[in-house]
Amino acid sequence: MAGKRIVVDVLNGEASFPPPIWMMRQAGRYLPEYREARRQAGGFLDLCYNPDLAVEVTLQPIRRFGFDASILFSDILVVPHALGRDLRFEEGRGPLMTPIREGEVDELDGEAFHVNLAPVYETVTRLRKELPDETTLIGFCGAPWTVATYMIAGHGTPDQAPARLFAYRAPEAMRRLLNTLAERSAEYLKRQIAAGADVVQIFDSWAGVLDEASFEAFCIEPVRLIVESVRREYPDVPIIGFPRGAGALYDTYRARTGVTALGLDWSVPWTQARKLQAEGAVQGNLDPLRLVAGGRALSEGVDAILSELGNGPLVFNLGHGITPETPIAHVEQMIARVRGASAK
């Protein structure tokens, strides 16, 4: 029988203190054992598609830190890659793709989609067997808007101007692209759940660059389609939505998309965060640079989150992914601070 998976309970609205904890990008370049596994793989995509090594790097932070949740090691861009788009990763530059043109949107090839992603599903299956019973397993995908920004520009950009211009100049092509990504992303999440994921998270890392109308069309609507599709088959699986940088637009995101819980970035004010938590579970929202700094800055950041949000359903996390230069000792300091906290 599975152990009590506290992250699942909290995401469903149960308050727990100290709160459960995990970190976005917790398997990654700040760990020497990860760097060794990536060296063995030969490249980042090779690591994502190698179940032996993907399982290993997913388990590394659980062995080292004992987090309450483990998130599948993969990348948001495996979805367009599985649809036939080229993808490579270069050190210091990140993901690189051939920019998709308006006329190519309807040529995305989904025939071998699940075959191409079979190594990911195998990784999830093996993780659920190898993780401690009490450790929640989180699957994930990128939100259609964020994935589309990389497909359109071919690389990361500071403000996603290429994708925004594409949407203004070719709105119907953008709608079709987002709908295709929503449909396929929902299938991807459902396969992860079938393989053993307890929770899924939708990462919309570039939600914060859009105006209100575009946020509605490009962020809320595609995520709503994903959530509806997943819920038809898995109504009880918690879904975390993370529209990073959404600001005031966070306020209606949960109700309009149907996600169970909200991932908060570090810029969300406490008054807003408390209001959002009153409507359901929240996750976050430590500034990753406090974790890099350590010491007093880190302790104050942890204490503020626990003081402001610790009485309600909270999954302690960062407000974005951990950065490669983060000292391991600071991660240990953060965990000790959270788990050693006393209820007030």
Longest dimension (CA), the chain: 59
C-alpha span between 71 and 188 (Å, rounded): 15
* Buried/exposed code over 86-106 (b: 16+ C-beta within 10 A; e: otherwise): ebebeeeeebebeebeeeebe
Residue of 38, 64, 224, 339 with catalytic role: 38
- Does the annotation mark 29 as catalytic? yes
- Does the annotation mark 75 as catalytic? yes
Residue of 29, 175, 274, 339 with catalytic role: 29
- Does the annotation mark 188 as catalytic? no
Q: Which is it for strands 199-204 and 239-243: parallel, antiparallel or unpaired? A: parallel
Residue of 34, 49, 121, 150 with catalytic role: 150
Torsion of Cα atoms, 228 then 234 then 237 then 238, to 10°: 0
C-alpha span between 340 and 101 (Å, rounded): 53
C-alpha span between 210 and 275 (Å, rounded): 23
Residue of 5, 30, 68, 75 with catalytic role: 75
Residue tagged 């029988």 (tokens): 1
C-alpha span between 232 and 266 (Å, rounded): 32
Please list, in sequence order, all residues whose beta carbon lies within 8 angstroms of the beta carbon of residue 344, skipping any fewer than 6 positions away: 307, 310
**DSSP for residue 141:** E
Rg (CA), the chain: 19
The number of C-alpha atoms within 13 Å of 131 and in the hemisphere containing its C-beta is 31
- Does the annotation mark 35 as catalytic? no
Residue of 25, 85, 191, 290 with catalytic role: 25
- Does the annotation mark 169 as catalytic? no
- Give me the active site residues, please: 25, 29, 38, 75, 150
